Structures are given as C-alpha cells and as structure tokens.
Amino acid sequence: MRLLSNSQPANSQSGRRSRTLALLLLLPLLLSTPQLFADAPYLAPGHPDGVALLAPPPAAGSPEEAADLKAVRSAFKARTPTEKARAMKDAGLSFSLFEPAIGPLFQPGKLPKTEALLKKVKAEIGGIIDAPKDHFKRRRPYELDNQLALGDPEPSFGYPSGHSTRGTVYAMVLAELFPEKSDAILNIGRDIGFDRVLIGKHFLSDIQAGRVLGQAIVHELLSSPSFQHDLAEAKTEIEAAQYARAGLETVK
C-alpha cells in the first residue's frame, strides 16, 4: 500500500483513515476462530511411507557408521556456546522458533486459523515419523559414545530425525504462508535439524533422511484438498492481519 504524499488533499487523507479504521473494526471477524476449517484429515494413513521412501541407515559397526560418528564428534566438539544454546532451544520444536524470520505478526493468539492449521499438521505427521524410526531401530550417537551424552536420553530411535523432519515440514508450510520470508524460514528449519548433531542426538544421515521425509510429507499435504482449503483460509487471515497492521501504521 502506497502511503499518501504531503501533496494529497486533506479530505483524501481523512478518507483513507476512515477506511483503515473501518477495516480495524472488522478485523475481529476476519480473524475469527477457525470454525470453517475442513474436518477431513490432510494425510491418508501411511502416506508418505517412510519405510519405503528412505534407504536404510548405515549398518551397525560398518565403516559408514564410523564415519557418521566421527562427523558427530567433530561437530559436537567444535560447537560454540551460542550454537549449543540455540540447539537446546530448538529441541523444544515450538513454532515460536520461526518468529525471528516472520516477525511480530506470528505470535500466539494473533492468527487463530493459521495456528489451527499448524496444530493439525503437527498432530498428523507424528505416526509418519515414528513408522520408519521403529522399523530401522537405529541407535543414537550418544549410545555409541557416552562422551556425546547431553541432557536427557531420547525415548525413540534415531533414524530419521524427528526434529529434522518436523523442522522441514514446519518451515515449508510456513514458507507457503509467508512467501516473502521464505529464505529465512527455511534456514531456521535446516538449523532445527542440524542442531541435533551439535548436541549428540543424531547422526548427519538421520538429519538428511528427515529432510527427505519432510519434503515428501509436504508434497502429500499440497496434494490434499482439505489442506489446500485450510491453507487458503490461513492465507486470507494473514493478509487481513498484514493489511490491518499497515493500516495502523498509516493512521499513526
């Protein structure tokens, strides 16, 4: 929206402010609770199939596994205090991790339809991630080298990385919603995965497999009519919020 110049008539400025104020009064309706969201699931059971999609991880005791472990030791040892702090924070897997890329608009309670979309995605992909983990049953780096232990042990197997998968999915979905911020959003998604190597929770091959599975999940989501319906609703909500925010700045 182009701001008014000083040369524009006062009545034009007054009209612009009136329209902006009217939009702000309508904003609660535009950002209403997500009652119109589609009830159908986004993903069909077992799709994508991570067991069929992913190659097996390096075999236990193999030279490839040894090289994988060496890479973890190197990253674990070389990390900075700042990287360690970021990795520990990223372990929480909150959507708030993406706020630095998206900005103040992306805060709890401000975008209810968008939050509902993300919550539904989060719930539906859990089983898809667990299936290959339980199939491949790969041990984690700190189980092979106790010097890599940091914090509490993980309750699940390591391949593929659930954090890397979720970080990829969350980032790709958010990039659909905020395309102008996509580069920064996707970088955060990558960091969420790699940070697991920095604290000894995953091998690099776990992270790479998570990215492959995450991309496959998003491909399935984008093919889902119910997801596309809710994605469109969320985009409309975001556009309204962005317009209202710009309007507030104009009024000021």
**Any domain includes 245:** no
Distances (CA, A) of 71 to 38, 59, 82: 44, 16, 20
The pair of structure tokens assigned to 161 is 């990385």
The set of long-range contacts for 81-85, using a CB threshold of 8 Å and a minimum separation of 24, is: 83/195, 83/198, 84/198, 84/199
H or E element in which residue 35 lies: none
Is residue 11, in this structure, part of any structural domain at all?
no
Residues 43 and 147: their CA atoms lie apart, in Å, by: 40
Residue 149 lies in a domain: yes
How many domains does one find in the chain? 1
The whole model's pTM is what?
0.84
Predicted local confidence at residue 248, as pLDDT? 55
Structural domain contains residue 148: yes
Confirm whether 215 is domain-assigned.
yes
Backbone φ, ψ for residue 218 (5° rounding): -65, -35
Structural domain includes residue 20: no
pLDDT digits (tens, 9 = 90+) for 134-175: 999 999 999 999 999 999 999 999 999 999 999 999 999 999
Residue 132 inside a domain? The answer is yes
Q: Is residue 166 part of a domain?
A: yes
| CATH code for position 69 | 1.20.144.10
pLDDT tens-digit readout, 228-245: 999 999 999 999 998 887
d(CA 193, CA 209) in angstroms, rounded, equals 10
**Cβ atoms of 211 and 80 closer than 8 Å:** no
The b/e string for 88-103 (b: 16+ C-beta within 10 A; e otherwise) is eebbeeebebbeebbe
Instruction: Give the pLDDT score at 163.
Output: 98
Question: Which residues of the chain have a pLDDT value below 50?
Answer: 1-10, 12, 22, 25, 29-36, 251
pLDDT value, residue 34: 47
Whether 57 contacts 138, CB under 8 Å: yes
The closest of 172, 166, 218 to 192, measured between CA atoms, is: 166
Angle at Cα 167 formed by Cα 120 and Cα 79, nearest 5°?
Answer: 150
Which domain covers residue 79, as residue numbers?
37-240
- Which of 10, 111, 64 has its CA nearest to residue 205? 64
Could you give the angle at which helices 204-222 and 126-136 cross, rounded to 10 degrees? 140
